[in-house]
Amino acid sequence: MAEPTKTHAMTGYDPMDQSVLNKSRADKFIMVMTLPKAMREINISSQRANDSIMQHSLQFSVYGIVAPAIVVDPVEIPFSGQSFNFTSFKRPDYSNIRVDFKLDNEYNNYWVIYKWLNLCNNYKEGFFYAERPALRHGPGLEPYSEYATDITVYGLDEYNEKKIQFTYVGAVPVSLGEISYNYQSSDEISSSLEFAFSQLHTKLL
């Protein structure tokens, strides 16, 4: 009888019992977002234009970090000359999430994120409302929710069926990454989006 493999000997699990397709893959995540109210106000064109966007919602094929570490810190409780660690029942603030994505051939997905950041701080005036049509002649303070939205990342199986959902509540863009180009490379051009958020909701589908 052949000697068991190391994996089988250590875990009692035969790797041949599982399909080679039954694995989570790095290219099996998509990111979907509905644009916040401030962005929908400039969603006024059916054609490409510098002062507007076209998409009501977006879908990106993403890679990089798609889910943050989930942390509930412990607390140290001194007892009888020793320490007892117990849960603090508290989640620290989440770190920003950076996702890398492929640019489409008309740069529309890059443009939407650029305009979103530009609404938060206009590159000319330095104001957060400069390009909004309703505010051009009478600016005022807007609620945070008009610039934030929920961003959802879906994990897909080998048949592109959605299996898990990560929803980032109250997401706002922090940065749009550089575009690195090399004419000697045939790879697709990519960029990155970093966003902050308030809560993470996760569920199986």
- 175-184 pLDDT, tens digit each: 999 887 777 7
Q: What is the DSSP string of 65-105?
A: --SPPP---EEEEEETTEEEEEE-S-PPPPPPEEEEEEPPT
- 68-83 pLDDT, tens digit each: 888 898 999 888 888 8
CATH number of the domain residue 184 falls in: 2.30.110
137: three-class secondary structure by DSSP: coil
- Name the residue among 16, 109, 105 with its Cα closest to residue 61: 109
For residue 6, being part of any structural domain is answered with no
- 138-192 pLDDT, tens digit each: 455 556 778 899 999 998 888 888 999 999 999 999 999 988 777 777 778 888 9
Query: Whole-prediction pTM value?
Result: 0.74
* Domain with 79 in it: 19-204
For residue 13, being part of any structural domain is answered with no
For residue 10, being part of any structural domain is answered with no
For residue 173, being part of any structural domain is answered with yes
